[in-house]
Amino acid sequence: MYQQIVVLTGAGISAESGLRTFRDQDGLWEEHHIEDVATPEGYERDAELVERFYNSRWQQLHSGTVVPNAAHLALAKLEAEFTGQLLIITQNIDDLHERAGSRRLLHMHGELSKGRCPRSRQTFILRDPFGASNCCTCCIPAQRLRPHVVWFGEMPLGMDSIHDALDNCDLFIAIGTSGTVYPAAGFVDAANHHGAQTVEVNMMAPDRHCQFQYHLTGKAGELVPKLVDTILAGQVIGSESSL
């Protein structure tokens, strides 16, 4: 039934894996000022503070207690069995989609498991926590690696591919995102403009919920597997027989 599907995920899809979201109760922004830890200016002002912020998230992600949940696994199953085209655009910097088996994946806000040379922009798999001694190998003198993360005021990654996918999709699904950060929050408008069906999976009705044609309210870990089964059965979302 559907030929080209775009899925946008946010922090909410990783919540059931034990990773904190940003804007929920007990979220990351309750403990940190965005301008201090998620802007280039904040990094210029106090690199160690920003490094502590990302090092603690990196250590939690690789502590052995954080694993992909049923929503990540369902999207990997969709990629394996769907005969059309699928692209997962994630705002998340964790690697839970990869660990669930997804490959058609674009990290538009970067990746926690990589560092970047501030001079060459070359990325490096993070083997040690960020710090003054964790430097690139591409420059002389070696440069202190920064998180390979898109901060506020920086251009998200893969925007050309994203716009191409949004212009051609017939189904756009947003999972676990508050719809407060642009340009990701505007993707639903592009999908609507090009005639795609737009579906939102969230625990509540977030900022841009009125732009979506369908809302599935509840936990991603429960709803996404059912949504994937509906799609793989060739059913239209929102029809009587479907979810």
Where in the sequence numbering do the catalytic residues fall?
Answer: 109
Does the annotation flag 19 for ligand binding? yes
Number of other CB atoms surrounding residue 63 within 10 Å: 9
SS3 62: coil
- Please report, as residue ranges, which positions from 48 to 87 form the binding site for ligand BV8 (by CB under 6 A): none
- Count of residues in contact with ligand BV8, rule CB under 6 A: 37
42 is in an annotated binding site: no
Distance of closest approach, residue 162 Cβ to ligand BV8, in angstroms: 13
Q: Is 38 in the site for ligand BV8 (CB under 6 A)?
A: yes
**Does the CA dihedral 136-141-146-151 come out positive or negative?**
negative
Residue 68 or 156 with smaller CB distance to ligand BV8: 156
**CB-nearer residue toward ligand BV8: 57 or 77:** 57
Residues between 141 and 200 with contacts to ligand BV8, criterion CB under 6 A: 149-156, 176-178, 180-183
169 is in an annotated binding site: no
Distance (Å) of CA 229 to CA 24, 134, 224, 225, 226:
29, 45, 9, 6, 5
Write out the DSSP string of 94-142: SSHHHHHT--SEEETTEEEEEEE-TTT--EEE--S-SSTT-B-SSSSSP
**21 is annotated as contributing to ligand binding:** yes
Q: Which is nearer to ligand BV8, 185 or 196 (CB)?
A: 185
Q: Do 115 and 55 form a contact (C-beta atoms < 8 A)?
A: no
Residue 167 or 189 having the CB closest to ligand BV8: 189
| CA dist., res. 70 & res. 104, Å (int) | 18
User: Which residues contribute to the site for ligand BV8 (CB under 6 A)?
Assistant: 10-12, 15-16, 21-24, 27, 38, 91-93, 109, 149-156, 176-178, 180-183, 201-204, 206, 219-220
